[in-house]
Structure 1
Amino acid sequence: MPNIKSAKKRVLVSEARNARNKANRSALKTAIKKFEAAAVEGNRTEAEGAYKVAVKSIDKAAAKGLLHKNNAAHKKSALTLKLNNIG
């Protein structure tokens, strides 16, 4: 455990950020998995709804610094290709 006041604060801040990042990361993964499931099923309308939610989650994660912007763009591109291949 740190002895210096600023180091103690850093521990508290990093724990709070870690918890926030974990929550956002799990929401992101859930949204992507729901889209993947709908895409595998071949249900176009359900997949389109899940796609919108997944893209919004990816954009939020990129804005919060959870994902790099290029990584977010790559994920969105892959999701779009899957959506277009459902036909």
Structure 2
Amino acid sequence: MLSLLLASPLALLLLIHPAVMLDGAGGYSHAQLMLVMWGLSAGFIHGVGFVPQQWLWRLLVHPAAAWLLMGQGYLMLLPDGAPGLMSG
């Protein structure tokens, strides 16, 4: 349930108002957004209760990775454009 509750507002915000993810220079960090989207996907997968059969997919959509990557997305929303996993 926690994964779904973390993923839903962030996904809605990205869909409705994507400009909130702009950096200080007015551009997007595509690498950072890719990781956040991976976290959102993993959060939805875990949130709805789907469990992949293959070990590689289980590792890629593990809830801990999802929470870390979604946390990065929430940090990007801070006013100072907090640097995250992929700063640059």
- Structure 1 and Structure 2 fold alike (TM over 0.5): no
TM-score bin, normalised by smaller chain: 0.3 to 0.5
Structure with more helix by fraction: 1
Larger Cα-atom Rg: 1
Q: Which has the higher contact order (CA 8 A, sep 6+)?
A: 2
